[in-house]
Amino acid sequence: MSDKLAFEDALGLYARHGLNLIKRASETMINGFNALTTIDVNAQKSFYRDKGIRHAKRGHYKKAAALLAPLYEREPEDKEVILYLGLSWLKNGHRDEGLKLLEEAHAAKPDNLRVSSVLSIAYMQAERYKEAIPHLEKVLQADADNYRAKYRLGVAQDNLGKHKLAIKHFLEALELKPDDAKIHRSIGYTYEQLDDRENALSHLKRANELDEMQGK
């Protein structure tokens, strides 16, 4: 990465670096915005780091990855960069790269619930359901009313062939969100695996009713 920063991208830094940089910015404007402004390398890194993490938190994962990937190459020990770059790779479809970084973030911060939550999603996407379960359980220990974690735990157990346990988790999620068609449909399909046609039809019918009510 260049040690110079284009004027437009540097706007967030000028407020921190005083009147001299503001003066340089004005001179750059007069020259048609073509000149590059030399900025302290550490300040530049901090600027890109903050901006990249902010993009990731807002869901702008392509922009986040573009800023955070070069920083990771320079300073691979920065745990926040590892986490948000891993998440950004994951959301951009680079599952293996994202998963590797998220595992690295978890190794550095094994008690961090945010890392466990994101890592559980990565394992689910990779169909590594057994590995996702302990992370989902950790999230639920801290937040027993997290219906997404309960639902994902049900999905993981269902894919591992543990259908009764899956239904238990699905029903717990349903208690928290009774009008979620997705949960009803998952329960219905899982009951079918157990040859319980009556309960399966009941939940599948309810899922269709909810879809119709919501215009789907």
Print pLDDT tens along the chain (216 aa).
444 444 334 334 433 444 344 344 445 443 433 434 445 677 888 888 999 999 999 999 999 999 999 999 888 889 899 999 999 998 888 888 999 999 999 998 888 898 999 899 999 988 999 999 999 999 999 999 999 999 999 999 999 999 999 999 999 999 999 999 999 999 999 999 999 999 999 999 999 999 888 876
DSSP annotation string for 35-98: SEEE--HHHHHHHHHHHHHHHHHTT-HHHHHHHHHHHHHH-TT-HHHHHHHHHHHHHTT-HHHH
62 vs 157: CA distance, rounded Å: 32
Question: In this structure, how many other beta carbons lie within 10 angstroms of the beta carbon of residue 121?
Answer: 21
In 3D space, the residue among 148, 117, 147 whose CA is nearest the CA of residue 135 turns out to be: 117
Give me the pLDDT at residue 75, please: 85
Is 4 strand, coil or helix?
strand
Sign of the CA dihedral running 190, 194, 195, 197: negative
Domain ranges of the chain: 1-39, 42-110, 129-216
Same CATH fold, 129-216 and 42-110? yes
Q: The domain 42-110 is classified under which CATH number: 3.10.400.10, 1.10.150.530, 1.25.40.10, 2.40.37.20?
A: 1.25.40.10
Give me the architecture of the 129-216 domain, per CATH: Alpha Horseshoe (1.25)
pLDDT number for residue 38: 46
- Determine contact, residues 95/125, Cβ cutoff 8 Å: yes
CB atoms within 10 A of CB 5: 21
* pLDDT score recorded for residue 42: 77
The residue written with tokens 């928290």 in the block is 176
What's the confidence (pLDDT) of residue 216? 63
* Amino acid 21: pLDDT: 42
> Residues 105, 81: contact at Cβ < 8 Å?
no
Straight-line distance from the first to the last Cα atom of the chain, in angstroms, rounded to the nearest whole number = 47
